[in-house]
Amino acid sequence: MKQLKSDVRLIYKGFMKIRQIRPWMLSLVVIRSVFEAISPFITIYMSALIIDGIIAKYDFNTLITYAMLAITFNFIAVISIKILDKNINLFYEEFNHKFDMILSQKIADIDYANVENPQTHQKLQKIKELRNLNGTGIWNLFSSASLITKNFFKIIFSISLTFSLFTLNGNNDSSNILNFATSKLCSILLISCIVINVILTMYSNSTSKKNYFAILNGFVPLNRIYFYYFTNFIASYHAGKDTRIYNQKNLILSKQNDINNNARLITSKIGKNEIKYSSITIISTIIITTLVYLFVSLKALAGLYGVGSIVKYVGSINEFIDSFTTFMNEFASLRANNEGLIACFDFLDIKNVLYQGTLPVEKRYACDNGDNDYEIEFCNVSFKYPSSEDYALKNVSAKLKIGKRLAVVGMNGSGKTTFIKLLCRLYDPTEGIIKLNGVDIRKYDFKEYYSLFSVVFQDFKLFSFPLGQNVGSTVDYDIVKVEETLAKVGFTKRYSKMKKGCNTFLYKDFEEDGVEISGGEAQKIALARALYKDAPFIVLDEPTSALDPVAEFEIYSKFNEVVSNRTAIYISHRLSSCRFCDDIAVFHEGKLIQRGNHDTLLANDKGKYHELWNAQAQYYA
């Protein structure tokens, strides 16, 4: 009972989510279900009236009236169903679009810690995989709601039409069997058999569906592999070169064979499960149908009702058996579908844990004629990533000098990128605080604090959108400003070859005339995007790693011009490119171990910077 309540609450939550996204849709589904349910009973009831009328020798006009009423009612029902279907299908498409947007928006809104957490993406992937398999999850509520509502009303209508069958009793002495068939005891026994059939059907369907969804989970990892290889990998033109050069066709086909073999095993299990439990339901239904037909026939032989009533009772009982079986089947499916709903809400209910401050950030932007007088200070900051026991940073204290150029260097895993993530407040410190102008950054409004930073991450992404939208990060961008920033980063020559200018699409994912850009060109566009934002802090994580030596020299030679009066933080493994910076911070094993300018640090022959410098310099001597 406790599990039933939990299942019902979850189903209710799912329906409320649908109502929130697309109001009135479920109401239309219910109305359509009523019309679908009543339609067969119009024919059954009116046929019974017409047959009784013929036997009773009603006049022709009365019989024609009955026939016309049957046709009219059925016509109204069919037209209503078609109109409702059209609107429901439209609403369903809108719902799918809106729900996909909700999933995407959730990723955009949650804390970055959750974005980096693999479990978040596994939850999202599970939603998509269950949806692709058989519409499991919130999508399945539509079909279940329709079928359950329709068959519920069919059960009500069939009981209404057959109620008199069980209450109409008599005392027929012509034979013992007819006497028994018309007795109250016979009606009670038949109702008891129907109840037993109901319980048996409920058990069979519930167990079958639970087993079905449990077996179906085996398809989830297979689908994940399949879509990776045959949708994301082979279908992507980016993979075309590797698959040919390394003759990866056989490797991929072997993976496909493995998937097909495993899929056959799972399909076999599903088939055996269906045969086992559906056979129980079929045998039970055949038995109860036989008893009901015998019951109706014997009462008719006893003279308790005429031919028209036989048509009404038999038709209604057939509808009852069919609708009740479907109703119980869908109810079991609805409960089993909760696994998909759990997956949906596990993702949608992810909570943000970063403190949302309210203080406004003082507007001192240079673009607003301000002085860019912002000071950031790390005070004994330590940090370890969620689910990790090791510190990525330990007791880091540092001030960022306003308007200066700071280079952050160190070996892989030394804490450089973690330092930047904390600075940009993608994470909050585990210990210690970070201050902006003397105030804990957690107290500032989240979005306003983000607005202080322009960052080119090492793993930056460009979209398959027009060039101008990539630089301006908006649909309505300033084309003059876009072209100015592209010129500053040395993109002018490539830009001049783009016939559509800022309207040129990057890559060919959506546009045939899109342009393929090199890694270095992509890096320049990302740098232009950072400059376009015109934030007081600019952070560059390996900003020239994909550039050729000439292009790299071009960027460095006018770095001060590019950065202007911003505070620049520069991360690089190439120590030779750090010489233009006023200040250099050396990280090692999560600690800030050295700080100073190039000459000072290099003069310390026992320092880490001296070691890193000479390790690289020997290849250029």
| pLDDT lower than 70: segments of the chain | 1, 133-134, 170-175, 216-244, 246, 248-249, 363-372, 543-560, 619-621
pLDDT at 546: 61
DSSP 184: H
Q: Where in the chain is the domain with CATH 3.40.50.300?
A: 366-372+403-427+440-617
What strands lie across the sheet with 453-456, from one edge to the other? 453-456, 537-541, 567-571, 405-410, 583-588, 591-596
pLDDT at 366: 47
pLDDT at 377: 92
| For the chain, the helix, strand and coil percentages under 3-state DSSP, each to the nearest 5 | 65, 10, 25
CA–CA dist 39, 33 (Å, integer): 10
Backbone phi, psi, residue 578, to 5°: -95, -5
CATH topology of domain 2-348: ABC transporter transmembrane region fold (1.20.1560)
3-state secondary structure of 425: coil
Q: Where in the chain is the domain with CATH 1.20.1560.10?
A: 2-348
CA–CA dist 468, 454 (Å, integer): 17
pLDDT at 327: 85
Residue with tokens 């009404």: 312
Both tokens of residue 297? 């026939």
pLDDT at 557: 64
CATH 1.10.260.40 is held by the domain 366-372+403-427+440-617: no
CA–CA dist 32, 565 (Å, integer): 66
Q: Three-state SS string across 81-150, please? A: HHHHHHHHHHHHHHHHHHHHHHHHHHHHHCCHHHHHCHHHHHHHHHHHHHHHHHCCCCCHHHHHHHHHHH
pLDDT at 545: 66
**Rounded to a whole number, what is the largest CA-CA distance in the chain?**
122
pLDDT at 467: 92
Residue 462 CB contacts under 8 Å (≥ 6 apart), including other chains: 470, 506, 517, 522, 525, 526
pLDDT at 547: 65
Backbone phi, psi, residue 349, to 5°: -95, 10
Cβ burial 455-472 (10 Å sphere, 16+ → b, else e): bbbeebebeebbbbbbbb
Q: pLDDT tens-digit profile of 316-356? A: 888 888 888 788 778 777 877 888 888 899 999 998 888 88
Q: pLDDT tens-digit profile of 352-392? A: 888 888 888 876 554 444 555 788 999 999 999 987 889 99
